[in-house]
Amino acid sequence: MTTPAPPDDPVVAAIRTNIVFEKMIVSVLTVAGAAGAAHLAISLAVGGFSIGALGPSFLRAATFTLLFFFTAFAAAVAVGVPLFLQLEKRKLRAAWPYAAAAALVGLLVLSAAGAAPGFEEPWRALYLAPGVAAAVLFARKMRPFWEAARRAEEPVARTVLRLH
């Protein structure tokens, strides 16, 4: 029987990073699909449901979904994974740093696109909701891993609590 690898092993760190990136992308894909469906439903509800409105509404929803996915993918690569690595060093395992980072990245992207929320159009703040939802979903998916890491860091004096 071999002994487990130490937590600071580079191979273990690379595996953790890959798992985190996978969980981020799955969360982004899930929320992108839900946000696209909500965009389509709202567009059809506000504009009136008709066969003529279905095509343009679908194209707007698909465009929104693709733009959200591409920007969230880039944010996961540029901000999400480095943020995870820094928070793991500090052993801070919570949803709020990821949600705050997602809101900030969303605000920066909206500002760059000229669609930032403001006093004239405060409803644009709803564009931040999918990013924050993806961050919260990511934290929910990471909860078992964080719990396992917390248990691994506890002293070993515990006995086996249950067998499966």
Domain residue limits, the chain: 10-153
Specify the pTM. Answer: 0.85
Distance in Å from the first CA to the final CA of the chain:
20
49-83, pLDDT tens digit by residue?
A: 788 888 899 999 999 999 999 999 999 999 999 99
121-141, pLDDT tens digit by residue?
A: 888 888 899 999 999 999 999
